[in-house]
């Protein structure tokens, strides 16, 4: 029995498994192509600044400086996470075009909701297991 036949016979299970596989691949690519230690340091500094901002609510000038630093950190984090997006974008778009053709007939537009839900859950699980930032 072909994969598409199985996916059509059990569409919700198929979309959940597909979400798990795509999320796992995306997570692995992200882990390989990003400096996880650097990202963890940036996140720690960002949390530290947010805590300091709560303590210095009365000093607008200091708050503005801290907000600027948080923006710089956020920019660095986004820039480092852009490379994995470039690597996975085209293959995943092609995959989604194929999947849409299969699941729209069976589940209507709800296939994307099932996929997103599964991806969010599996993303949290895989990131915890792989100790990612």
> Same structural domain for residues 91 and 132?
yes
Cα–chain center distance at 92: 13
> Same structural domain for residues 125 and 103?
yes
Region 80-107 average pLDDT: 90
B/e letters for 98-112, b = 16+ CB within 10 Å, e = fewer, are: ebeebbeeebeeebb
> Same structural domain for residues 62 and 24?
no
What pLDDT is recorded for position 35?
A: 92
> Same structural domain for residues 127 and 66?
no
> Same structural domain for residues 6 and 70?
no
Q: Which own/partner pairs from 14-19 qualify as long-range (CB within 8 Å, at least 24 positions apart)? A: 14/103, 15/99, 15/103, 15/107, 15/111, 15/114, 15/115, 15/118, 16/114, 16/118, 18/99, 18/115, 18/118, 19/114, 19/115, 19/116, 19/117, 19/118, 19/119, 19/122
> Same structural domain for residues 23 and 59?
no
Q: What is the pTM of this model?
A: 0.78
> Same structural domain for residues 18 and 48?
no
Kindly calculate the radius of gyration of the chain based on its CA atoms and give it in whole angstroms. Answer: 20
Number of domains composing the chain? 2
Q: 95 lies in which domain range?
A: 1-34+84-133
What pLDDT is recorded for position 89?
A: 93
> Same structural domain for residues 30 and 48?
no
What pLDDT is recorded for position 1?
A: 64
> Same structural domain for residues 30 and 40?
no
What pLDDT is recorded for position 115?
A: 94
> Same structural domain for residues 76 and 101?
no
Task: Please determine, for residue 73, whether its predicted confidence score (pLDDT) is greater than 70.
Answer: yes
| Three-state SS at 35 | coil
Return the sign of the alpha-carbon dihedral for residues 18, 21, 24, 30. negative
> Same structural domain for residues 90 and 30?
yes
């Amino acid at each position: 029995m072909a994969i598409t036949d199985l996916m059509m016979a059990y569409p919700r299970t198929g979309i959940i498994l597909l979400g798990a596989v795509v999320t796992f691949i995306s997570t692995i690519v992200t882990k390989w192509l990003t400096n996880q230690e650097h990202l963890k340091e940036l996140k720690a500094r960002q949390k530290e600044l947010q805590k300091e901002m709560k303590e210095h609510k009365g000093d607008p000038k200091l708050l503005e400086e801290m907000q600027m630093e948080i923006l710089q950190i956020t920019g660095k984090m986004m820039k480092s996470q852009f490379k994995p997006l470039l690597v996975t974008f085209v293959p995943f778009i092609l995959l989604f075009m194929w999947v849409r053709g299969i699941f729209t007939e069976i589940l209507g537009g709800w296939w994307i909701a099932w996929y997103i839900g599964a991806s969010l859950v599996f993303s949290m699980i895989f990131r915890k297991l792989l100790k990612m930032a």
